[in-house]
Amino acid sequence: MIIIKSAAKKTLIGTLGAASLLVAGTQVAHADTVKVQSGDTVWAYSQKYHVSIDSIVKANKLADANLILAGHSLNIPGVNTSDASQTSTAAASTATTSTATSAASQATTQSSAASSVASSSAVSSSSAATSTTSAASATANTNASNSNSSQATAQSSQAATSYDSAISVRGGGVSQALAIANGSTPYVYGGSSLSGFDCSGFVQYVYGLSARTTTQQAKLVTHHSDVQNAPYGALLFWGSDSAPYHVGISLGNGTYVAAQNSQKGIGEFSQTYYKASFYVNVK
């Protein structure tokens, strides 16, 4: 009994010491500005620091919210970025303290187990009965767990089948475009299948068009310039009337779904900082 209690004490002291070192080693980030890394976006900073995209664009006088250069510093208005580091420090301290408490609890449990073993030697018949009951309970719990696991697997399989059927048939329209955007299909330049799409290949697939390129698709019907009010399902184009370079599918209210580029992939986007040039109604 004395040896187990000593081990518990040593475990608790060692874990608390590690917690102190972890908290002491946390660094505080530079206030108000961040250094742009490759692949970073203004949208990602707005989500991280809870400020609007527009405020970041104005604070840094950005000509294009979609174009920020790696290595440059970016001002985050009204935010002290050191707050994020302090929050991480507090979280690390809480997590480590919790670990220390768990270790102490485990050591106490081991001590209690040792006492139980000593006591059970004097009442072996009662202990045997208790052991039998515990074994039966453990078996019942295992069977219930296996049943729940089987149900979860079946539900996951049904969901996967439903998703596959939603995207595998060419010409599914806007609903199919959204299903693909919420999946794992990547952006691939020149791609026009579920192994990867570029912008015009994506539109061709979900609308079942014979026209493959943005130029061919732009010639399908009459052009309209009121792009912010483009109806649901209309094709939005960027560039000149005769040779547009990008295409997406309008979701209404200035939003659209598209195979955007290799960095942003396939998803839903806004025209707020990337306004289309014209649209056509394909239905």
Predicted local confidence at residue 147, as pLDDT: 63
| Opening angle at CA 68, ends 62 and 69, nearest 5 | 130
| Judgement on whether residues 158 and 178 belong to the same structural domain of the protein | no
Task: Please check whether residue 92 is in contact with residue 23, taking contact to mean a CB–CB distance below 8 angstroms.
Answer: yes
Predicted local confidence at residue 66, as pLDDT: 81
Closest by CA to 279, choosing from 229, 205, 211, is: 229
Instruction: HSE, CB side, 13 Å, CA atoms: give it for residue 228.
Output: 2
| Judgement on whether residues 67 and 18 belong to the same structural domain of the protein | yes
Task: Please check whether residue 43 is in contact with residue 5, taking contact to mean a CB–CB distance below 8 angstroms.
Answer: no
Residue 23 pLDDT > 50 = no
Number of domains in the chain: 3
| Judgement on whether residues 91 and 135 belong to the same structural domain of the protein | no
In which residue are the tokens 């912008």 written? 199
| Judgement on whether residues 59 and 78 belong to the same structural domain of the protein | yes
Look at 87-91, 103-107, 157-161, 249-253 and tell me which has the smallest mean pLDDT. Answer: 87-91
Task: Please check whether residue 209 is in contact with residue 203, taking contact to mean a CB–CB distance below 8 angstroms.
Answer: yes
Q: What is the pLDDT of residues 125-147, one digit of tens each?
A: 455 445 555 665 666 666 666 66
Q: What is the pLDDT of residues 37-49, one digit of tens each?
A: 888 888 888 888 8
| Backbone region of residue 259 per phi and psi (left: phi > 0; alpha: psi in -120 to 50; beta: other values) | beta
| Judgement on whether residues 106 and 128 belong to the same structural domain of the protein | no
Instruction: HSE, CB side, 13 Å, CA atoms: give it for residue 178.
Output: 9
pTM above 0.75, yes or no: no
| Judgement on whether residues 275 and 200 belong to the same structural domain of the protein | yes
The total of other beta-carbon atoms located within 10 Å of residue 78's CB is 11
> Which residues sit opposite 259 in a β-bridge?
266
Percentage of the chain modeled with pLDDT above 70: 58
Range(s) of the domain holding residue 143: 123-164
In which residue are the tokens 């990008």 written? 246
| Judgement on whether residues 37 and 106 belong to the same structural domain of the protein | yes
Predicted local confidence at residue 264, as pLDDT: 95
| Strand 244-252, strand 235-239: pairing | antiparallel
Rg (CA), the chain: 30
Q: What is the pLDDT of residues 78-114, one digit of tens each?
A: 877 555 445 444 443 444 444 434 444 554 455 454 4
Q: Which residues of 240-276 are buried (b: 16+ CB within 10 A; e: fewer)?
A: eeeebebbbbbbeebebbbbbeeeebbebbebebbeb
| Judgement on whether residues 177 and 159 belong to the same structural domain of the protein | no
* Rounded distance between C-alpha atoms, residue 251 and residue 76, angstroms: 30
What rounded mean pLDDT belongs to the chain? 74
Q: At what angle do helices 53-60 and 42-49 cross, to 10 degrees?
A: 110
* Rounded distance between C-alpha atoms, residue 177 and residue 200, angstroms: 12
| Judgement on whether residues 54 and 138 belong to the same structural domain of the protein | no
Predicted local confidence at residue 132, as pLDDT: 54
* Rounded distance between C-alpha atoms, residue 224 and residue 212, angstroms: 21
CATH number of the domain encompassing residue 61:
3.10.350.10
| Judgement on whether residues 145 and 46 belong to the same structural domain of the protein | no
| Judgement on whether residues 182 and 231 belong to the same structural domain of the protein | yes
Domain stop point among 132, 164, 196: 164
| Judgement on whether residues 153 and 178 belong to the same structural domain of the protein | no
